[in-house]
Amino acid sequence: MGVDTIRRDGALCVELSGELDIGSAAQVESRLLELEDGGASERIVIDLRSLGFLDSSGLSLLINADRRARAAGRRLTVVSGNGVPRRILTTSGVDRLLDTVEDLEPGA
């Protein structure tokens, strides 16, 4: 499980790679909390394009991160890519609960 962070145009971009599942979700969540505590920017982007798989624990993580962002007045965007994560987000309806885009707009 990889968690890479980049700041781009004032947004904190968190790139997840590997598998986001019951075995790794807790670790990723605590890393996210760390970043949020460290004064994350107005906008957080969680990029799933390099993610091979996510299960319900992964969905939970995204939903919780979105709730925290809303409570803190931040905007959270999920970049789904067009592979397995997108299918899982669509099937569960999570793509419509969260601000979800298939790709990062050029320059963002």
Nearest approach, Cβ of 74 to another protein (angstroms)? Answer: 19
Report which residue type is found at 81: G
Please, which residue, 35 or 97, has the CB nearer to another protein? 97
Q: Stretches 6-14, 41-49, 73-81, 82-90: which one binds another protein (CB under 8 A)?
A: 82-90
Please state, in angstroms and as integers, the Cα–Cα distance from residue 87 to each residue in 33, 50, 80, following that order: 26, 14, 9
Among 42, 56, 70, 102, binds another protein (CB under 8 A): 56
Please state, in angstroms and as integers, the Cα–Cα distance from residue 39 to each residue in 2, 35, 36, 84, following that order: 21, 7, 6, 31
Nearest approach, Cβ of 33 to another protein (angstroms)? Answer: 16
Closest CA to 59 of 25, 34, 83, 33: 25
Please, which residue, 91 or 107, has the CB nearer to another protein? 91
